[in-house]
Amino acid sequence: MVWKLAIAAGVAVLIGLGVWLLWPTGEDPGPFEFLGAYDIATDAWQYGEIRVGEISGLAYDGETGAFFAVSDNRGEEGTPGKLYTLAIYVTEDGIGNVAVKDLLLLDRAASEPGVQPYEANEIDAEEVVLAPDGSLIVSSERDLADRPWIRRFSQDGEWIGGYQLPTQFTVAEDHGVRSNLGIEALCLADAGATLFAANEQALAQDGPLADVEEGTRVRILRFETGTQTPSAIAQYVYETERIFAVPADGGYADNGVTAMIDASGIAPEFDLIVMERAYVAGVGNDVKLFGVRLENATDVSGLDSLAASAFVQPVEKTLLLRISALAEHSDVEVAPDNLEAMTVGPRLPDGRRTLLLASDNNFNASQRNLFLAFAARRGR
Looking at the DSSP assignment, which residues form a beta bridge with residue 34?
A: 374
Contact 126, 140 (CB under 8 A): yes
Contact 343, 58 (CB under 8 A): yes
Task: Output DSSP code: residue 51.
Answer: E
Mean pLDDT of the chain: 91
Long-range contacts of the stretch 304-307 (C-beta < 8 A, 24+): 304/167, 304/168, 304/205, 305/205, 305/206, 306/202, 306/203, 306/205, 306/206, 306/207, 306/217, 306/219, 306/237, 307/205, 307/206, 307/207
Domain ranges of the chain: 47-317+346-358
What SS3 class is residue 380?
coil
pLDDT digits (tens, 9 = 90+) for 254-281: 999 999 999 999 999 999 999 999 999 9
Give the number of other Cβ atoms within 10 Å of residue 104's Cβ. 20
pLDDT surpassing 90 at residue 289 = yes
Q: What is this structure's pTM? A: 0.92
Q: Tell which residue, 303, 314, 321, 174, has the closest CA to residue 259.
A: 321
Give 147's contacts (C-beta < 8 A, 6+ positions apart).
Answer: 171, 177, 182
Residue type, 321: L
Most distant pair of Cα atoms in the chain: their distance? 56
pLDDT digits (tens, 9 = 90+) for 129-151: 999 999 999 999 999 999 999 99
pLDDT surpassing 50 at residue 16 = no
Whole-angstrom Cα distance, residue 224 to residue 87? Answer: 31
Mean pLDDT of 221-250: 95
pLDDT of residue 249: 87
pLDDT surpassing 90 at residue 209 = yes
Task: Tell me the chain's radius of gyration from C-alpha atoms.
Answer: 19
Give the number of other Cβ atoms within 10 Å of residue 133's Cβ. 10
pLDDT digits (tens, 9 = 90+) for 38-78: 999 999 999 999 999 999 999 999 999 999 999 999 999 99
pLDDT surpassing 70 at residue 15 = no
Q: Tell which residue, 365, 361, 350, 364, has the closest CA to residue 93.
A: 350
Give 266's contacts (C-beta < 8 A, 6+ positions apart).
Answer: 31, 273, 344, 353, 355, 376, 378, 379
pLDDT surpassing 70 at residue 231 = yes
Contact 238, 257 (CB under 8 A): yes
Residue type, 283: V
pLDDT surpassing 50 at residue 29 = no
Contact 41, 17 (CB under 8 A): yes
Whole-angstrom Cα distance, residue 54 to residue 340? Answer: 9
pLDDT of residue 337: 96
CATH of span 47-317+346-358: 2.120.10
Contact 72, 360 (CB under 8 A): yes
Element of type H or E holding 127: strand 125-130
pLDDT band at 380 (very low <50, low <70, confident <90, very high): low
